[in-house]
Amino acid sequence: MPILILKLLLAPALVVASSLAGRRWGPGLAGTLVALPIVAGPILGITCLEHGPGFVARAAGASLLGLVSLALFTVVFALLARMPRTGRWAVTLPLAWAACLVADLVLSLVPVPAPVALCLSLAATACGVKALARTSTDHVPAVPPPPRWDLPARAAATALLVTALTTAAAQLGPDLTGVLAPFPIGTSVVATFALAQGGPAVAAATLRGVLRGLWGFAAFCFLVAVLAEPLGGGAAFGTAVACTLALQLGLGRLQTKPAARQAPCQDFHSAA
């Protein structure tokens, strides 16, 4: 029961929190917050409880490869959102998911040691940052206040996606489970609402924030992968969470400093 509650409440709470933060401080911070391993963390934690530290160490190493697919998702989504024929979220999201799933399936067939997977995930993140920098704009358009159902809809969509993926992933073994763990669940909700409510510029700003958050996500997966067996699950996850939060806090401060020197942005309603 506690695990089910974690699946249903934790990820939706993060999406709601990132949405509120985005309305206050901008889409970049919203994206950075939603990039916390709030989905992958519970998935890996459950596998550790059910299958032991050896299983979760292998799955966490595979999750680093899943971050390569997640970086690909952000780029594909942002670029498709700018195109006239694919700019609607109902077209952009399935195409970006398809690219991510294909990459996940391919990467699950070529497991590599955790240090190599870490290097690949960081390289993919850096390439994604460079690709989305070309979509940067100094002007993020304001959007009208969101309807009252906005936050509940985001939370419900997140809970549905989390439950569906964790139910399926638990049957797939450590490599495929690990690669699928970072599947863009919260990111999909955040980016889709950003595109629908604010347009391509807001979606791209949100996804650039997601990419900044992947540095901490990679640290989390790597630490679980290398520490789970020698230290045990509890110590490994505790260390990984502490390091991830420290990195994300630092990134959040870097993100808000430039904003503080500018005029307060309008309640641009994140999208996250």
Sign of the torsion angle spanned by Cα atoms 253, 255, 257, 262: negative
Tokens of 203: 């979606």
- The string of pLDDT tens digits covering residues 184-203 is 877 888 888 888 888 898 88
| Residue 117 confidence class, pLDDT cut points 50, 70, 90 | very high
The pLDDT > 90 percentage for the chain reads 31
Task: Give residues with Cβ within 8 angstroms of 191, minimum separation 6.
Answer: 74, 77, 93, 184, 203, 206, 207, 210, 271, 272
Angle of the 200-231 helix axis to the 185-198 helix axis, nearest 10: 170
Q: Give the model's pLDDT for residue 231.
A: 93
Q: Answer whether residue 261 shows pLDDT above 70.
A: no
Cβ-in-10-Å burial (0-12, 13-18, 19+) of 233 comes to buried
Greater confidence (129 vs 153) lies with 129
Which among 253, 265, 248 is positioned nearest to 14, based on CA atoms? 248
Q: Give the model's pLDDT for residue 27.
A: 63
Tokens of 158: 């997140």
Q: Give the model's pLDDT for residue 11.
A: 72
- The string of pLDDT tens digits covering residues 48-58 is 887 889 989 99
Greater confidence (232 vs 149) lies with 232
Spatial separation of the C-alpha atoms in residues 142 and 261, rounded to whole Å:
19
Residue-averaged pLDDT of the chain: 80
Q: Answer whether residue 234 shows pLDDT above 70.
A: yes
